[in-house]
A and B are shown apart, each in its own frame.
Chain A
Amino acid sequence: MATELARAVINGVLGGGIYALMAVGLTLIFGVLDIINIAQGVMVVLGAYLSYALSVHLHLDLFLGLLITVPAMFVIGVIIQVAFIRPLHGSERTSMSLLASYAVAIIIEGVLYLVFGPNYVTLNASYVTKSVALLGFHLPYIDLYGFALAVVLVAALYLLLYRTRFGRSVRATMQDRTAAMLVGVDVNRVAALTYGIGVAVTAAGGMVFGASGGGFNPNSGYDLISRLLALVILAGLGSIGGALVASVFMLTVESIVDIWQPSWSIVVFYAALVIVLLVRPAGLFGRQAARAQ
């Protein structure tokens, strides 16, 4: 029992690292652009498929392939923002941007179906199937590497946001868009780059997701986006630290529930969200002001 519990906690923390990476991208996009990027889930799947194509056709190592897929996803993100998100204005911008990003999601999903078909695929590499004995547990290498990658990337994002001039302009835009504009921040540029970065990190998340999960197909984005949305709302929209905590916490809880009730474990996600919002409408780490918007 105790070993099962310990294993569940380890799995939860390792998986939580990957979700944290993807959730940070989502919450960053929300903070700067004030939109919910419904396409984030299918972007993860797109990232996974890009890694898949590189590894199958060019026999590129999965981690090495990230050097191509991450910049590629960044460019895709910037293009989507400039073409479809930036032109939206007016009082209905919130709902319009939801619909626009959803439309982008179903188009990408359709294209993925056309190119790769509906069958489930998995990413393969020597370290995906091998595992290491650590503290009496057999842990797949990919989970460890993936977690390490997530930690490195989240740390890099943190440094970018809190230690660079660009990061300061991003945070300024998150706090007050108009004021940021007044002090000379090019908010349009910040918005496009932030969307690009938020999407680019999903390439890394997608690779690990595709390698460590039980396979994926173009439809996998829906399950992902609903979990990611639950995580960022639970944490409080726009809270980066909160997204990290919520991801690790929820994934751990899910894998613990999974021991007894595998078919109900995902319900925990949504039920926790509903309960938290009953008590704290702004989320666990959200600013209360967010509610008055």
Chain B
Amino acid sequence: MSSATAGSAAQAGTAAAPLLPPGARSVNLTRTGVFVLLLAVSIVFPLAVTNQSANSIAFQTLIFVCAAAAWNIFSGYSGYIALGHAVFFGSGAYAAGIAAEHWHVTGGTEFVLLPLAAAVAALIAVPFGLIALRVRRHTFVVITIAIFFIFQLMAFNLNGVTNGTIGLNAPFLLWDPVTFDQRFYYIALGLALATIGLSWLIKGSRFGLQLRAIRDDEDRAASLGVRAMPVKLTAFVISGAITGLAGGLWFFFIGQVLPQSGFDPLFDLTVALMAFLGGLGTVSGPLLGALIIEPAQQYMTTAFSNSYLSQILLGALFLAVVLFVPRGLIPTITEKAGGWLERRRPAEQAGALAVAKGEKP
């Protein structure tokens, strides 16, 4: 049944781009090249750059790559804009912190707790999703914000569990300070690659097509046999679990979590902005968005003594994206590059068009 929907979603896709432009192959090749280059650079980066603050920024950027890609797996593919993913990030951090304290986990073994952080976030995502996914559009956005605030307030108020405003400290790591950032960097890199790989797999799968069918027209998708609720909820839980894992890792790196840093309203919006800037619903969009925004933000906070100026600049960037590249950088660039390659081969293009129109070449 649902394969029919998948077909209709695919049809919708081809309707938007009736012909694979002749440049598409080259664009794909370029894309692979860029990805391989990026991978190589990211592997070598901490070995080449030993500046500690640069490495710290690189680690946090990778955390945001994970978070933005995870956010995109749900919101980008399904079209439900969630502004409450800090719930998972914070819960992951707190779960790791509480477990470490409770079971007296110390040293490198603390990383065993990361799957637990993901599991806790996933467990929270189930009732969260069951409540929030009953409503759509604006109401969905607002209910995610509301649930976010409930969690932040719980972190503040449940003193016995979360230690209130004092927050929790991570177990102390007896790692050499020189390699400390490097090791975290590679763990985060692995997680980021896995998340992007998963995002890519989901996008190409039947599950991904079902999600995009829901994004295009949920009622029609449901009438064609997509079981909308389980599909949406599964994506929501996957997205939440990865965000929780990233939260746990971030907590071990920073060493402390407070209600306002774990459950940060800016986190909700930053991951969304990253995905929007790069291209909502694309695999590489959130990656690109995170690679631009997080270092820029970190740089601006250190470069300007005044953090308010960087806030204004971030807002202006935000507005510029919404007004001038509303579809995100990746789709816009791909289209532009495709068009450019098309114009380079006018003869071939004319032939292809004639074929498309059903004329004899």
Interface residues in B, total, Cβ within 8 A? 43
B153 touching A266, Cβ below 8 Å? yes
Q: Which of A83-133 contact B (CB under 8 A)?
A: 84, 87-88, 90, 92, 94-96, 98-100, 102-107, 109-111, 113-114
Q: Contacting B311 at CB < 8 Å: which of A95, A113, A263, A273?
A: A113
- Say if the beta carbon of B141 comes within 8 Å of chain A: yes
Q: Contacting B323 at CB < 8 Å: which of A84, A264, A270, A291?
A: A84
B322 touching A100, Cβ below 8 Å? yes
- Say if the beta carbon of A229 comes within 8 Å of chain B: yes
B323 touching A87, Cβ below 8 Å? yes
**Mask of A186-230 contacts with B, CB within 8 angstroms, 1/0:** 000000000000000000000000000000000000100010011
- In the complex, chain B residues whose CB is within 8 Å of the CB of A36: 138, 141-142
Interface residues of A (CB under 8 A from B): 30, 36, 84, 87-88, 90, 92, 94-96, 98-100, 102-107, 109-111, 113-114, 222, 226, 229-230, 233, 237, 263-264, 266-267, 269-271, 273-274, 277-278, 281, 283, 291-293
Q: Contacting B318 at CB < 8 Å: which of A99, A222, A274, A293?
A: A99
Minimum distance in angstroms from B61 CB to a CB of chain A: 21
A277-B315 contact in complex given A87-B323, A271-B150, C-beta closer than 8 Å: no
Kindly state the separation between the CA atoms of A30 and B141 in the bound complex, as whole angstroms.
14
**Further contacts, 6 of them, CB under 8 A, given A98-B81, A99-B272, A106-B318:** A36-B142, A92-B327, A103-B315, A103-B322, A110-B311, A226-B145
Minimum distance in angstroms from A79 CB to a CB of chain B: 13
Which of B107-115, B129-137, B228-236, B251-259 sits within the interface?
B129-137
Kindly state the separation between the CA atoms of A32 and B322 in the bound complex, as whole angstroms.
21
Would you list 19 pairs from A and B whose C-beta atoms are within 8 A, ordered by A residue? Answer: A84-B319, A95-B141, A96-B322, A96-B326, A100-B318, A103-B322, A107-B311, A110-B311, A113-B311, A114-B312, A233-B146, A270-B146, A273-B142, A274-B143, A274-B150, A277-B134, A278-B134, A281-B139, A292-B219
Kindly state the separation between the CA atoms of A110 and B137 in the bound complex, as whole angstroms.
28
Q: Contacting B134 at CB < 8 Å: which of A263, A271, A281?
A: A281
A226 touching B308, Cβ below 8 Å? no
- Say if the beta carbon of B276 comes within 8 Å of chain A: yes
- Say if the beta carbon of B273 comes within 8 Å of chain A: yes
Q: Which of B132-187 contact A (CB under 8 A)?
A: 134-139, 141-143, 145-147, 149-150, 153-154, 156-157
Kindly state the separation between the CA atoms of A172 and B219 in the bound complex, as whole angstroms.
27
A270-B150 contact in complex given A277-B143, A278-B134, C-beta closer than 8 Å: yes
